[in-house]
Structure formats: C-alpha cells, structure tokens
Amino acid sequence: MIPGGWALLLAIAALVAAIGPALRDWQARRSAARRDPRTVLDPVQPTPLSDTAAVIAALLATVLSAGGGWAPLAALLSVYAVLTVGHRNQSNAVGAIGMLLLAAAVLRISLHWLPRTGFNVVLGVLMAAWLLNWFALFWHQQLHDGRAWTTAGRLVPIAEQLSYVVLAAALPLLVAQSAAWHALKAEAGLAQVAEALSAVAAQSGDAGAPATAPVHPTGRLGIGGILLSLITLSMSLGLFLRLRGPDARLSARRAARLAAHVALALAALPLCLLLQGTIGRSPNPLLLASLVPAIALLARIGRT
C-alpha cells in the first residue's frame, strides 16, 4: 500500500504527464492558426509513453492508496488525469477507466471525508452510482440524433452502464452490513447493562465502582450520522424514482428498472439506522430489503 502523501504526489505526477502533451497541442494549434489555419484540425501527435505512464500512475494512486485525508484528493486528481488522456486520444476505453476511478474517488470521499456512520461504504457506492447515472443523463445533450460528437457524448453509454454495475455491487455490501446488525444491537444491549450496573453501584454507595457514561444503542451515529442517513435515504429514493420510469435518454430500459429496485432495497439500511436512532428499535435491514422484490412481484401480478 502507498501512504496517502505519496499517493497524492503520484497523482500530481500523473496529472502533469497527462496535461503536458495537451498544453503542447494547444500551443501547436495556436501557432498553426497564425501560420496556416488549414492545419489547425490536423491530428495531434501521439504520446503513448506519457499517456500510459499517466494512466498507470493514476491507477496506483487511487487503488493502492493506504487511506488518510489525502487519499480522496489523490483519487480526484487521478480521475482528471485519466479523463484528460481519454479526451486527447478520443479513447472510450481510457474514458471507462476514468469513470471507474471517479466511482472509486467518491467512495474514498465517503470513507475519509464524511462522518463515520458504519455504512460509509454503502453510502459511497450509492453516491457513485447516482453520480454516474446523473452524468449519463446530463451529457445526453452532447448527442445529435443519438450520435456522439463530443468526448462527453461518447461517455454517455459508458457512464449509464457503469452506474448499474456499481449499484449492483452495493447489494453484497448491504448483506454484509445487515449481518453485522445483530452484533451492533448486542453491543448496544451490553452497553445498557453496563450503564444499569453503574447506576446500581452508585446508589449503593460503592465509590470504587467505575463510572460508565450513558450509551444509546445508536449513539455512534451522532448528528453527522443522522444527516448522512437522511442523505442516503433521499438519494436511494431519488435514484429509484429516476429509474423506475426510465427516461427516453436511458438506453438500457430493463437494466434501469432492475437497478431501480436495487436502489429501493438500499434505502432499507439508512431507514433502519434512523429508526434505531430515534425509537431504539428497528427490523433487520436485509429483512426490510427483501420486501422490495416481493412487492414488485405483487405489483406486476396486479397489472396482468
């Protein structure tokens, strides 16, 4: 693993390797516009060595970073470097790598820059899927009669398909988080028992008994955790509503409808955390999420 500071330096090196040829191209086109305007649109001079080095350095800075406060910044710089290489070479493959690194950067932000809630990984994956799907819809204006004429237009189908893949990756995370749900509640129960014993010891006048601070079953959430739970819940429901009746701009209609149900299932986790934090009890998130396909099946039967 690479320390966060070294990962940032590696990302800066990748950005320099990506932007350097682009700046030389800009200077060459500017000189050509003054000398012979007909050569302005000539193909750029390929620089495979620096482009490959930039992509590899960006991948290493994002994937192998050990974490810390610098890791998200290194990931964001790496995304910019890879997308610059993809734009300059008009490469959809490099653009897809840039979109994947963007998802990884959002996950890094959720893990290292947002308050700890216990479900930051699920939140990061959901944010990445939401952002990729939003880019796919927003960049649709870069298409002319369904044909791409800009770099953003060529990334529309890539961003849409990756949003579904990233959203599907959140399902096993939801299962793992739900499996730890009983452990979380058991830990909260032990904390309540310790609090009760401390209170009994205080009433009996046992001065030597260790004092135990009151612990709420979900006191670990805090204000930041509650806000993140609300944000996660709103993003899940928003993504569900966006995909449930797929926009004409979305090409994969069936995949969009399936992803809508996945987004709705992911809403079970922040909902359960909010219930546990407010009323002190809630069902297992996996049990609540399992109701989504059952309700969808009943709704489909009702329409037939």
3-state secondary structure string, 148-198? Answer: ECCHHHHCHHHHHHHHHHHHHHHHHHHHHHHHCHHHHHHHHHHHHHHHHHH
Residue 302 belongs to some domain of the structure: yes
Q: What is the mean pLDDT of the chain?
A: 81
Give the residue-averaged pLDDT of 252-281: 81
Give the residue-averaged pLDDT of 207-223: 49
Q: What is the pTM of this model?
A: 0.80
Q: Are 94 and 221 contained in the same domain?
A: no
Q: How confident is the model at residue 170 (pLDDT cuts 50, 70, 90)?
A: confident
Q: Would you state the pLDDT for residue 211?
A: 45
Residue 86 belongs to some domain of the structure: yes
Q: Are 195 and 298 contained in the same domain?
A: yes
Highest mean pLDDT among 48-57, 211-220, 240-249, 284-293: 48-57
Number of independent structural domains in the chain? 2
Residue 100 belongs to some domain of the structure: yes
Give the residue-averaged pLDDT of 78-87: 95
Q: Are 58 and 175 contained in the same domain?
A: no
Q: Are 301 and 182 contained in the same domain?
A: yes
Q: Are 102 and 188 contained in the same domain?
A: no
Burial class (CB in 10 A: 0-12, 13-18, 19+), 257: middle
Which has more pLDDT, 183 or 139?
139
Residue 39 belongs to some domain of the structure: yes
Highest mean pLDDT among 30-44, 101-115, 172-186: 101-115
Q: Are 13 and 107 contained in the same domain?
A: yes
Q: Would you state the pLDDT for residue 81?
A: 96
Q: Are 302 and 182 contained in the same domain?
A: yes
Q: Are 186 and 90 contained in the same domain?
A: no
Report whether 1 contacts 64 (CB < 8 A): yes
Q: Would you state the pLDDT for residue 61?
A: 94
Q: Which domain holds residue 56?
A: 1-113
Last residue of a domain, one of 64, 94, 113: 113
Q: How confident is the model at residue 215 (pLDDT cuts 50, 70, 90)?
A: very low
Residue 146's region, left for phi above 0, alpha for psi from -120 to 50, else beta, is left
Listed residue (259, 253, 250) closest to 134, CA to CA: 250
Give the residue-averaged pLDDT of 230-236: 86
Last residue of a domain, one of 79, 113, 147: 113
- Other CB atoms within 10 A of residue 192 CB: 15
214-231 as b/e: b if 16+ CB within 10 A = eeebbebbeeebbebbee
> Lowest-pLDDT range, 66-75, 166-175, 284-293?
284-293
Residue 162 belongs to some domain of the structure: no
Residue 202 belongs to some domain of the structure: yes
Length of the chain: 304
Q: Are 176 and 54 contained in the same domain?
A: no
Q: Would you state the pLDDT for residue 129?
A: 92
Q: Taking 80 as the threshold, does the pLDDT of residue 73 lie above it?
A: yes
Q: Would you state the pLDDT for residue 291?
A: 82
Residue 143 belongs to some domain of the structure: no
Residue 133 belongs to some domain of the structure: no
